[in-house]
Amino acid sequence: MTQLSVLTGDFIGSTGLAPDMLSRGYDALQLAVQDITPHGVLTRVRGDGWQIAHTQPRLGLRLALRIRAGLRAIDPDLDTRIALATGAGDIPDNHDLNTASGAAFIASGRALDAMTDAAIYHSNGGAVAALTRLADHLSRGWTQAQSAAIAPMLCPDPPTHTQIAHSLGKSRQAVDQALRGGGFDALGEALAFLEASP
């Protein structure tokens, strides 16, 4: 079996979402996977659930935050619970994670079922769980403008602030302000430390 990062989630308040909004939410999930772990696999689970598996476990929290930022950039009320787990698992050849097996899939699914307050939770405990809890708290306060600026900055090879401003039709100063307001400098450094740790 391979070391995987598995993210299991479901959309918050999905029964109140218009069908096109839920569809846009799934599109945002796919875009986040492409941005962070291009070889990752996304599968829709039940009506409003989903699961992602990828072979770059150190990028699990970055991907979770990219998902949140991407969703909130669409609509500040569009959000999802995310339970992360790192461990052994196999991605099926057909890429249908409904048939996947391994400890990481089990731990992620169980963590989602057990979640109460946190919207982003890491089941592995220790420093990664502590940072995940803080990142969840910080990112819950992101506005739509902050999310739109932060989402591309979470990519492993992010664009410049000027490029983000151009793509959003905003000024460079507005992008800088959104990133500062969303706490991205500290968050970006924390993610880099986490991803560089053994």
pLDDT in tens, 59-94: 999 999 999 999 999 999 899 999 999 999 999 999
The per-residue pLDDT for 13 is 86
The per-residue pLDDT for 131 is 97
Of the pLDDT bands very low, low, confident and very high (cuts 50, 70, 90), residue 46 is: confident
The edge-to-edge listing of strands for the beta sheet with 120-122 is: 41-45, 49-54, 2-11, 80-89, 120-122
Find the mean pLDDT for residues 89-108.
Answer: 94
| Of the candidate ranges 116-130, 156-170, 176-190, the one whose mean pLDDT is the lowest | 116-130
Of the pLDDT bands very low, low, confident and very high (cuts 50, 70, 90), residue 172 is: very high
Give dist(CA 182, CA 70) in Å, integer: 14
Find the mean pLDDT for residues 166-171.
Answer: 97
The per-residue pLDDT for 19 is 81
The domain at 2-139 falls in which architecture? 2-Layer Sandwich (3.30)
Strand partners, 142: none
Q: Does the pLDDT of residue 47 top 90, yes or no?
A: no
Q: Does the pLDDT of residue 158 top 80, yes or no?
A: yes
CA distance from start to end of the chain: 20
The per-residue pLDDT for 14 is 83
- Is 41 in a helix, a strand, or coil? strand
Of the pLDDT bands very low, low, confident and very high (cuts 50, 70, 90), residue 35 is: very high
Q: Per-residue pLDDT tens for 121-154?
A: 999 999 999 999 999 999 999 999 999 999 999 9
